[in-house]
Amino acid sequence: MKTKKLKLLKTLQLLLPLCMALLVAGCEKEKEKKLQYEIYENHEISACGVEDPLVNIEWLKITCDKIVLNKNHIHSSFKIDLYEENETKEHVILIPYSPDKGIFNDNVYDCSGKITVYFAGKAGEPTSVPPQYPLGLYCKYVGTLWSLTIK
Reported as a single tens digit per residue, the pLDDT across 83-129 is 999 999 999 999 887 666 666 778 899 999 999 988 886 544 555 54
- Per-residue confidence (pLDDT) for residue 31, from 0 to 100: 45
Residue 150 above 60 pLDDT? yes
Query: C-alpha dihedral over 76, 72, 146, 128, to 10 degrees?
Result: 90
Domain residue ranges of the chain, discontinuous segments joined by +? 1-34, 37-150
For 90-103, give the DSSP string: -EEEEEEEETTTTE
Q: How far apart are CA 142 and CA 70, in angstroms?
A: 26
Which residue type occupies 4?
K
| Alpha-carbon distances of 130 from 43, 101, 126, 144, rounded to whole Å | 34, 20, 10, 27
Convert 66-104 to b/e letters by CB count within 10 Å (16 or more is b).
ebeeeeeebeeebbbbbbebeeeeebbbbbbbbbeeeee
Q: How confident is the model at residue 78 (pLDDT cuts 50, 70, 90)?
A: confident
Question: Hey, which of 32-41, 45-54, 114-123 has the most confident mean pLDDT?
Answer: 45-54
Q: How confident is the model at residue 51 (pLDDT cuts 50, 70, 90)?
A: very high
- Per-residue confidence (pLDDT) for residue 44, from 0 to 100: 95
Which residue type occupies 62?
I
Give yes or no for a cis peptide into 130 (omega within 30° of 0): yes
